[in-house]
Each structure stands twice: as C-alpha cells, then as structure tokens.
Amino acid sequence: MTDKGFVVLDNVAKRWKGQLGVENITLDIEEGSFVALLGPSGCGKSTTLRLIAGLEAADEGHIIIDGKDVTHAPSADRNLSMVFQSYALFPHLSVAENVVFGMKVRRVSKAERAERLARALKITGLEGLEARKPGELSGGQRQRVALARAIVAGKRLCLMDEPLSNLDAKLRASVRKDIKRLQRDLGITVIYVTHDQTEAMSMADKVVLMKSGHIQQVGSPADLYDRPANTFVAEFIGAPPMALIEAPVIGGAASSDILGLRAEHVRLAEPGAGRLTCTVAESEFLGAETLISLSHPGTTGLCVLQPGLAPVEVGTEVSVTFDDRDIHVFDSEGRRREAV
C-alpha cells in the first residue's frame, strides 16, 4: 500500500478529548490528480486536510507523502502549500509581499523571487495590484492572492480548504475553471475541500464523500452518481438527490430493502397505468425543466422532471413508471447490494 500513491493515509484518526474528529481515514491519492473531500458541515473535511498539512497531529494511523512517512513531521517538512478558507493573507503586507513571503523565508534569491512572483501574478490575473494591501482587495482578488501564494511555492501538493466559499456564484464558476486549468497545467496534486457537490463533481478526478468523521465512498464523480455505496451517498449526490423507496411499496426485492431511483429515470404514465400512484407535493420551475415533487407513503424525495414549463397543480394524483434496471437496491442498513 505504502509504495502506491503520492499521498497515502492509512487508518488515520483524530479525536479531541475523546470526542470524534475523524476515524478510519484510509486514502490513496495518485500524483497529479484532483481529489475533492466532500461532505456536509462538520463531517471532518477540514480535519482531514489539516491532518495532511500537519496542522493537527494524528492520534492513530500513518500519513505518507511522496514515499516519506510524515505522520509526526511539522508542516514545513511536508513540502506542500495550502489555500485557507479564510485566505490567511498577512494584512500588513502588500499583495507582492504576501506572495513572496514563503520564498523570502526559504532564502530564494531576489532575482528568482521577482521572476516567480511575476509569473504567479500573471497566472492569477493580479498584475497591477502588487502594491495593494489585502484590505483593499475584493473577495475574489484576495482569493486569487491566496492561490498565487500557494502556486508560487512550486510545491507538488496543494491543499485547498473551501477556497471559493466566500465568492458569489458567478465568480465561483469562473475561478473554479481557473483552478482546474492551473492544476492541469502545473501537473500538481490538489486535495480540495468543499461542501458543494457541484464543485466536487465538476472539478475532481476522485471524490471522497464523508459523513460524521467517516469516509462513505471514494470514487470518480460518475461512480458516486451511478453507483452510490449507501443511501447517504445516494441522498447526498445529485440535484435532486436520489429518491428512496421502501421495497414493499413496489414489491419485488427483499422486503426490508430500500430502493433508490433518480428523478431522470422516473416517467409520468397514463392515469392508472404506472407502477406507483402519487400526489403532487410541489412544482418547481428550474428553467429548462420543471421539477415535480411527489409524495407517497414509504417514499422520500420522489420526483419527476418534465421538460419546459409544465407545472402540475399541487394535490393532483399522478401515475409514474420506471424501469427495473434503473433501480438501485440497498439493504436494510443502507448498504448497496450489487446484484438485484
């Protein structure tokens, strides 16, 4: 295991006075990949990242970066850079001074500092703002300074903790592309924390979905979407999330099973001709399509998508149908059953 990945976490755990932070974290990250740590608030994403960065000490397990066991090494020896959620820019230093701070500390020559600074500012589009203090920048610009500071270090591993959470939706989409492009161009490994699944799904080669300090599933975005390992993943990934149906409602599988169904696989049927008759709970116009939420005893999150503006009166009885091959089956514990 240890000679495989660029970053390897082996059964890592972190607790505070017995209170759980994260547990059983086992990860294998290849060099040059973009890995997203995804999960709801408080699930331990930041803790995992901080363990890798050496800002927290692991209570159990091993952390290996580039073949070296760094479990007990200080941050400085781990050869990585980090973008903080809060940016952590030095408020009294100008943009340029912030970016070159680390190089100064490491005694990089003046000429090289200037050259690398210029390149980092160019990549992040910060030219002309060198002399500004962080307080005189917009949130997006600050974010890019933090990014510039991380890439100027030239480290092969870059950790990012929700770097886009303070930006507005539009800026977020554009910076997202920038980060992805940067990662690909520089060929660096990025571990990226986010609670936004769109971010994770669109940027990452590999998504690590966490809940309450435990990893739920590791896989490509398509894996998580198409083969959720459990009902938590099923309900977390996708907008709208997967609907869960108790097996007896439609019959077929073992009666304690839970069936999962994505909205795009549900079709409206002729009244009485479908497999399930439900009541319309809500109609939501999303632009290209209308999302119709349905309620039926024994189901959660059941809905159907209709193209265009196609509202259905709340309370109407509708009949829906779907194919067996689109059904995901989970056992009573919520774990995925591979064969139906």
Ligand X SMILES: Nc1ncnc2c1ncn2[C@@H]1O[C@H](COP(=O)(O)OP(=O)(O)OP(=O)(O)O)[C@@H](O)[C@H]1O
Can you give the binding site for another protein, defined by CB under 8 A? Answer: 53-55, 74-76, 80-82, 84, 86, 88, 90-92, 101-102, 105-106, 133, 135, 149, 153
Task: Sort strands 34-38 and 258-261 into parallel, antiparallel or unpaired.
Answer: unpaired
**Which residue of 45, 116, 155, 328 would you call a contact of ligand X, by CB under 6 A?**
45
Burial class (CB in 10 A: 0-12, 13-18, 19+), 52: buried
**Which residue of 47, 124, 217, 299 would you call a contact of ligand X, by CB under 6 A?**
47
Q: Within 10 A of 252 (CB to CB), how many other CB atoms are there?
A: 14
Subset of 172-211 contacting ligand X (CB under 6 A):
195
Is 163 a residue that touches ligand X (CB under 6 A)?
no
Q: Which residue's CB is nearer to ligand X, number 46 or number 81?
A: 46
Contact 227, 218 (CB under 8 A): no
Q: Tokens at residue 147, please?
A: 């990014």
Q: Which residue's CB is nearer to ligand X, number 39 or number 240?
A: 39
Give Cα separations from 18 to 13, 14, 21, 56 (angstroms).
Answer: 11, 9, 9, 15
Residues in contact with ligand X, counted by CB under 6 A, come to a total of 12
Whole-number minimum distance, CB 99 to Mg ion, in Å? 24
What is the rounded CA–CA span in Å between residue 49 and residue 78? 13
What is the rounded CA–CA span in Å between residue 28 and residue 33? 11
Distance of CA 264 to the CA centre of its chain: 22
**Which residue of 23, 29, 46, 116 would you call a contact of ligand X, by CB under 6 A?**
46
Q: At 217, is the secondary structure helix, strand, or coil?
A: strand
Expressed in angstroms, the distance from the first to the final Cα of the chain is: 32
Is 42 a residue that touches ligand X (CB under 6 A)?
yes
Whole-number minimum distance, CB 18 to another protein, in Å? 20
User: Concatenated DSSP letters for 249-307?
Assistant: HH-SS-TT-EEEE-GGG-EEESTTTSSEEEEEEEEEE-SSEEEEEEE-TTEES-EEEEE
Q: At 16, is the secondary structure helix, strand, or coil?
A: strand
Q: Which stretch binds ligand X (CB under 6 A): 36-44, 124-132, 166-174, 280-288?
A: 36-44
Is 283 a residue that touches ligand X (CB under 6 A)?
no
Subset of 208-237 contacting ligand X (CB under 6 A):
none
Residue nearest to Mg ion (CB): 46
Is 12 a residue that touches ligand X (CB under 6 A)?
no
For 143-179, b/e burial (b = at least 16 CB within 10 A) is bbbbbbbbbbbebbbbbbbbbbbebeeeebeebbeeb
**Which residue of 1, 16, 88, 106 would you call a contact of ligand X, by CB under 6 A?**
16
Q: Which residue's CB is nearer to Mg ion, number 41 or number 109?
A: 41
What is the rounded CA–CA span in Å between residue 300 and residue 243? 6
Whole-number minimum distance, CB 45 to Mg ion, in Å? 5
Q: Tell me which residues touch Mg ion (CB under 5 A).
A: 46
Whole-number minimum distance, CB 16 to ligand X, in Å? 4
**Which residue of 41, 273, 288, 338 would you call a contact of ligand X, by CB under 6 A?**
41
Q: Which stretch binds ligand X (CB under 6 A): 43-51, 183-191, 245-253, 310-318?
A: 43-51
Q: Which residue's CB is nearer to Mg ion, number 162 or number 235?
A: 162
Whole-number minimum distance, CB 74 to another protein, in Å? 7
Q: Which residue's CB is nearer to ligand X, number 19 or number 109?
A: 19
Residue type, 340: V
Q: List contacts with ligand X (CB under 6 A).
A: 16, 19, 21, 39, 41-47, 195
